[in-house]
């Protein structure tokens, strides 16, 4: 159970057992049992009837909850000799249910504040492995941190009691912390005493991994994005530094780019999907081509950009952004954006249209970027969606349309709502939805 008290600290309501359980330094947990077997199945048995924070729609609420549970399972699973399996059916070993007030056990919830969650130990004959969460609490990216709560409660279902040490199993925690939970040495020792060490366990590597995850940079800091693009199936990605975020793929976000895209050099300069459904990543004067038209991605080795079709006659060795605007089936002009180039006749950031899709500017159509809008001095990313064409610079975006090989503003500079809602959720709600597309056969 988590109780909300002074200084906005919450307490876990799982019954304290310090007076009844004999503990020692080497064997800190006795009598609470352990879940049997080398494979442990987990699932969400009941989602909340109330949307998280009341500003996230039903689908995104479920994604947030799924991610939090997956994060908690991953946290413990790295340390112990257990195979955790997502099992969306009945008879799973760990089940999370959102409930309100009297929900069938002897620990009724009390609405916002006070008790917010409780779990049952493996020795409980009827409810072992159950986690109950108060659905009235303001869970969400900007609300109470469900990642911390589920990491703590999963520890209980595995057989860990509350501890007086500085660990994830302390009954008190700061409910609005933004950092990710991590295991203390005491947590690791305790859980490994129950389930054994992970094969090829490397304590130093585990600590370094946790430190990396705990200090993962944010997609919503002051640094501009590097690229945003949509795959042929409509999934939207945002790249920033070494991070990747997606509007459709469920994960604990953001992810390191290498975790999803493999050995891709980061940060990249731009990414886009062309009219033939090839997805391109560009860094400096190199390009990678990806076939993402099926569930299995197929990568090509990197090439010099001038050896690729989109840049066959491209006059420069780098590019900041590429926009393929919506148009007729037969004509979808490319727009290229590039900052200052030393040693060229063009001064200042510029852009140009390319009706032939080969990188060469249409004759007479190289323009200054500030001609689009006087506030626009560079373009960090660009994308065309069913809702329109968008260009991004620092913390702002513009909605534009193509007009005779130039771009005109439809919606002037709008500040990205980084503070009020996460980048991922904003993208999903504001710009993105699944859309049908006409596949063009490759030559």
246 sits in the region (left: phi over 0; alpha: psi -120 to 50; else beta) called beta
Q: From the candidates 95, 115, 135, 153, which is the catalytic residue?
A: 153
Establish whether 105 is an annotated binding residue: yes
Instruction: Confirm or deny that 132 is annotated as ligand binding.
Output: yes
The answer to the question of whether 364 is labelled as a binding residue is: no
Task: Kindly give, in sequence order, each residue whose CB lies less than 8 Å from that of residue 437, ignoring residues fewer than 6 positions away.
Answer: 232, 234
For residue 311, give the DSSP letter. G
Length of the chain counted residue by residue? 443
Distance of alpha carbon 224 from alpha carbon 213, whole angstroms: 21
Q: Flag whether 156 is marked binding.
A: yes
Is 287 annotated as a binding-site member?
no
The set of residues, in sequence order, having a beta carbon less than 8 Å from that of 81 and lying 6+ positions away, is 38, 195, 196, 197, 198, 199
- DSSP H or E stretch at residue 288: strand 286-291
256: number of CA atoms within 13 Å, CB side? Answer: 12
Q: Is 285 annotated as a binding residue?
A: no
111 labelled binding-site residue:
yes
Q: Is 373 annotated to bind ligand? A: no
Query: Using CB atoms within 10 A of its CB, is residue 337 exposed (0-12), middle (13-18) or buried (19+)?
Result: buried
- Per the annotation, does 306 bind a ligand? no
Residues 235, 24: Cα–Cα separation, whole Å:
51
- Is 208 annotated as catalytic? no
- The reply to whether 251 sits in an annotated binding site is no
Q: Is 222 annotated as a binding residue?
A: no
Helical ranges in 159-245 per DSSP H: 185-195, 203-214
SS3 370: helix
Contacting residues for 130 by C-beta, under 8 A, at least 6 apart: 95, 97, 119, 120, 124, 157
220-250 exposure pattern, b = at least 16 Cβ within 10 A, e = fewer: beeebbbbbbbbbebebbbbbbbbbbbbeee
Residues in the annotated binding site: 93, 103, 105, 110-111, 118, 132, 134, 137, 152, 156, 162, 169, 226, 269, 271, 380
Residues in the annotated binding site for Ca(2+): 93, 110-111, 134, 137, 226, 269, 271, 380
Q: Hey, which residues are catalytic here?
A: 153
Residues in the annotated binding site for Zn(2+): 103, 105, 118, 132, 152, 156, 162, 169
């Amino acid at each position: 159970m988590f109780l909300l008290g002074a200084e906005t600290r919450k307490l876990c309501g799982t019954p304290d057992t310090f007076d009844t359980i004999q503990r020692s330094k080497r064997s800190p947990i006795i009598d609470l049992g352990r879940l049997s077997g080398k494979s442990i199945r987990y699932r969400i048995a009941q989602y909340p009837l109330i949307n998280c924070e009341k500003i996230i729609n039903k689908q995104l609420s479920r994604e947030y909850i799924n991610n939090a549970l997956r994060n908690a399972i991953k946290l413990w699973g790295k340390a112990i000799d257990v195979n955790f399996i997502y099992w969306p059916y009945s008879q799973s070993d760990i089940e999370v249910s959102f409930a309100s007030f009297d929900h069938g056990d002897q620990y009724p919830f009390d609405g916002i504040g006070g008790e917010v969650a409780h779990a049952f130990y493996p020795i409980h004959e009827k409810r072992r492995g159950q986690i109950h969460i108060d659905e009235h609490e303001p869970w969400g990216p900007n609300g109470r941190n469900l990642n911390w709560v589920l990491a703590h409660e999963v520890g209980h279902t595995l057989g860990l009691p509350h501890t007086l040490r500085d660990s994830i199993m302390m009954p008190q925690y700061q409910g609005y912390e933004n950092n990710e939970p991590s295991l203390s040495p005491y947590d690791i020792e305790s859980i490994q005493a129950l389930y054994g060490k992970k094969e090829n366990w490397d304590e130093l590597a585990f600590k370094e991994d946790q430190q990396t995850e705990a200090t993962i940079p944010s997609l919503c800091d002051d640094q501009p994005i590097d690229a945003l693009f949509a795959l042929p199936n409509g999934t939207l990605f945002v790249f920033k530094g070494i991070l990747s975020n997606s509007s459709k793929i469920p994960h604990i976000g953001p992810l390191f780019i290498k975790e999803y895209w493999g050995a891709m050099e980061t940060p990249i300069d731009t990414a886009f999907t062309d009219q033939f459904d090839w997805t391109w990543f560009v860094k400096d004067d190199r390009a990678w081509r990806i076939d993402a038209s099926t569930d299995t991605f197929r990568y090509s080795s990197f090439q010099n950009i001038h050896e690729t079709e989109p840049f066959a006659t491209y006059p420069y060795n780098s590019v900041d952004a590429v926009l393929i605007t919506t148009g007729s089936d037969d004509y979808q002009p490319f727009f290229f954006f590039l900052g200052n180039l030393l040693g060229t006749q063009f001064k200042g950031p510029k852009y140009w249209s390319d009706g032939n899709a080969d990188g060469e500017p249409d004759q007479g159509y190289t323009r200054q970027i500030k001609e689009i809008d006087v506030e626009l001095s560079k373009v960090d990313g660009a994308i065309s969606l069913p809702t329109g064409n968008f260009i991004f610079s620092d913390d702002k975006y513009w909605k534009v349309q193509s007009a005779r090989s130039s771009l005109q503003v439809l919606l002037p500079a709008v500040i990205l709502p980084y503070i009020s809602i996460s980048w991922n959720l904003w993208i999903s709600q504001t710009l993105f939805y699944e859309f049908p597309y006409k596949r063009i056969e490759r030559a």
